[in-house]
């Protein structure tokens, strides 16, 4: 018997309608901030509440050969581990690894009236609230797909579902868990990750690359206390002016080009071709969801250049600041210090650790005016460039997209980071990857008004089910 696609689609639709919208709504209500944003996460208990909520649903699934556990390591966030033994498949010596996370970004300001980060609101196919799309739905969708395969004549290899709780902090805890679980993971031949994005909601998008990340806090101190600007202005340099000078060492202020050694790489020709195809197909629609203020323009002279800028060029963002009072509280005081949180996206194939080290040197060596300069709380995560698609997987993805969207699947690079993918690529060099997700136009992950497109999530769940079934039908999936 073969997998009955229509029957599987009907079952997945019921699971989404009858269970998953409610489950995700309850999950959205939990302020499960990632450890970087909630250092006291253990005492607050929100991450644990999210884990308990997801585990309770997973354990109730009518899935044959399944075990569910929470893997704990001292001093680290837990990881949910679901193992489902091979189903209807004699050769059970390979593993499909499915990945997601349940920790969240902070609240962020700017939510429109009636919405909020911990307030689930459904409007048509949109379920608003923090974490539903990034990435709370992944655990539910992954097991719903496995359930549909088993109940509708399909087959699947041994599956391991890993749901972590530190991804939004750069996945600092996950490598230790993966090392501890190495024997449990087995021979990983396929990785399915639902934590990425899509350029549109009308087809299956496969992520072909992810940028890496290097970040830290740049601090400048020039005097030991605040001083009257009328008395010392012109004698004591502003800490803000000093920090501007330091930023000029790593970024061209006119163009935004990052000037750190090793931060720019040669872009592979086939990735340029992919972005050219997307630009030809979508035009400015590929970027139209960016909410520019009236009259503002993007960086780049063409859609292709803009797409490559966001996927294969380094870019610097200032994501936070200390030492600056609100404008309504600002007196005529020359402040003693300024601190900025720097977030540098690095190209997929760049060495993010070398870039971080070079950035620190440039920022801290020979400080202007002898100021006290530090670059602390540093972190980095690797980028990722997908291996070439093997014919069986390319065919499976195309058939899944046609069956659920009526369109061919599309290839697309993403500008964000999933550090786990780079680590997996090193640990399992023969594995194939299906990196995809629901973060499409206006879904605004990490920002206000984040939403999950329910119709797209349901279709993506169907695609995962079909891919699992086809993978198990391939005699030698690593060839």
Q: Domain of 107: which CATH number? A: 3.40.630.10
Residue 292 lies in a domain: no
The span from the CA of 437 to the CA of 99, in Å, is 11
Residue 294 lies in a domain: no
The span from the CA of 209 to the CA of 417, in Å, is 9
Q: Within this chain, do residues 43 and 176 fall inside the same structural domain, yes or no? A: yes
Please tell me the predicted confidence (pLDDT) of residue 92.
61
Residue 239 lies in a domain: yes
Q: Within this chain, do residues 122 and 195 fall inside the same structural domain, yes or no? A: yes
Residues of the chain with pLDDT under 70: 1, 90-92, 475-479
Q: Within this chain, do residues 185 and 328 fall inside the same structural domain, yes or no? A: no
State the total domains in the chain: 2
CATH code, domain with 220: 3.30.70.360
Please tell me the predicted confidence (pLDDT) of residue 1.
62
Q: Within this chain, do residues 326 and 435 fall inside the same structural domain, yes or no? A: no
Q: Within this chain, do residues 376 and 394 fall inside the same structural domain, yes or no? A: no
> Final residue of a domain: which of 333, 365, 381?
381
Q: Within this chain, do residues 85 and 188 fall inside the same structural domain, yes or no? A: yes
Q: How far is CA 443 from CA 106, 113, 310, 407, in A?
A: 16, 17, 17, 22
Q: Within this chain, do residues 376 and 466 fall inside the same structural domain, yes or no? A: no
Q: Within this chain, do residues 335 and 393 fall inside the same structural domain, yes or no? A: no
Residue 327 lies in a domain: yes
Return phi, psi of residue 72, to 5°: -110, 140
Residue 478 lies in a domain: no
Residue 185 lies in a domain: yes
Residue 479 lies in a domain: no
Q: Within this chain, do residues 91 and 13 fall inside the same structural domain, yes or no? A: yes
> Final residue of a domain: which of 381, 396, 416?
381
Please tell me the predicted confidence (pLDDT) of residue 290.
85
Range of the domain at 234: 212-264+313-381
What is the value of pTM for the model shown?
0.89
Residue 272 lies in a domain: no
The span from the CA of 59 to the CA of 30, in Å, is 20
For strand 126-128 and strand 333-334, is the pairing parallel, antiparallel, or unpaired?
unpaired
Of all helices (H) and strands (E), which one includes residue 426?
helix 419-427
Beta strands in 359-479 (DSSP E): 372-381, 384-385, 410-414, 432-435, 451-453
pLDDT digits (tens, 9 = 90+) for 107-121: 999 999 999 999 999
As to burial, measured by CB atoms within 10 angstroms (0-12 exposed, 13-18 middle, 19+ buried), residue 33 is buried
Please tell me the predicted confidence (pLDDT) of residue 478.
47
Q: Within this chain, do residues 228 and 195 fall inside the same structural domain, yes or no? A: no
Q: Within this chain, do residues 42 and 22 fall inside the same structural domain, yes or no? A: yes
> Final residue of a domain: which of 341, 362, 381?
381
Assess contact for 206 and 199: CB atoms under 8 A: no
Return phi, psi of residue 426, to 5°: -75, -40
Please tell me the predicted confidence (pLDDT) of residue 479.
43
Q: Within this chain, do residues 425 and 437 fall inside the same structural domain, yes or no? A: yes
């Amino acid at each position: 018997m073969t997998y009955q696609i229509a029957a599987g689609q009907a079952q997945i639709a019921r699971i989404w309608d009858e269970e998953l919208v409610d489950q995700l709504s309850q999950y959205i209500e939990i302020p499960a901030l990632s450890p970087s944003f909630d250092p006291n996460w253990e005492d607050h208990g929100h991450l644990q509440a999210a884990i308990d909520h997801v585990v309770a649903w997973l354990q109730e699934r009518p899935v044959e050969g399944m075990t569910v556990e929470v893997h704990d390591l001292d001093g680290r966030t837990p990881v949910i581990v679901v193992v489902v033994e091979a189903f209807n498949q004699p050769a059970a010596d390979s593993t499909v690894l499915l990945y997601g996370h349940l920790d969240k970004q902070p609240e962020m300001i700017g939510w429109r009236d009636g919405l909020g980060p911990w307030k689930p609101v459904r409007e048509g196919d949109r379920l608003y609230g923090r974490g539903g799309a990034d990435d709370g739905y992944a655990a539910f969708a992954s097991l719903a797909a496995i359930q549909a395969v088993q109940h509708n004549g399909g087959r699947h290899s041994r599956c391991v579902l890993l749901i972590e709780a530190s991804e939004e902090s750069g996945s600092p805890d996950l490598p230790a868990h993966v090392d501890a679980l190495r024997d449990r993971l087995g021979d990983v031949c396929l990785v399915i990750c639902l934590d990425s994005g899509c350029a549109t909601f009308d087809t299956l998008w496969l992520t072909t690359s992810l940028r890496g990340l290097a970040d830290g806090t740049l601090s400048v101190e020039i005097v030991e206390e605040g001083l009257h600007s009328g008395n010392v202005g012109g004698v004591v340099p502003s800490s803000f002016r000093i920090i501007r000078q330091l930023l000029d060492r790593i970024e061209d202020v006119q163009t935004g080009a990052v000037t750190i050694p090793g931060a720019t790489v040669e872009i592979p020709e086939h990735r340029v071709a992919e972005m050219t195809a997307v630009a030809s197909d979508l035009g400015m629609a590929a970027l139209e969801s960016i909410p520019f203020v009236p009259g503002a323009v993007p960086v780049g002279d063409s859609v292709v250049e803009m797409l490559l800028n966001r996927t294969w060029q380094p870019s610097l963002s200032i994501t936070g600041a200390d030492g600056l009072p609100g404008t309504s509280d600002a007196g005529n005081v020359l402040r003693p210090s300024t601190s900025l949180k720097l977030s540098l996206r690095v190209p997929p194939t760049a060495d993010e650790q070398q870039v971080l080290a070079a950035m620190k040197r440039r920022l801290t060596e020979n400080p202007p005016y002898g100021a006290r300069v530090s670059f602390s709380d540093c972190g980095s995560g690797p980028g990722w460039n997908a291996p070439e698609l093997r014919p069986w997987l390319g065919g499976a993805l195309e058939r899944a997209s046609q069956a659920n969207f009526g369109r061919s699947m599309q290839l697309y690079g993403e500008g964000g980071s999933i550090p786990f993918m780079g680590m997996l690529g090193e640990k399992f060099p023969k594995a194939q990857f299906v990196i995809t997700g629901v973060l499409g136009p206006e879904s605004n992950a990490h920002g206000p008004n984040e939403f999950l497109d329910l119709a797209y999530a349901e279709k993506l769940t169907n695609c995962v089910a079909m891919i699992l079934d086809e993978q198990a039908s391939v005699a030698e999936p690593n060839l």
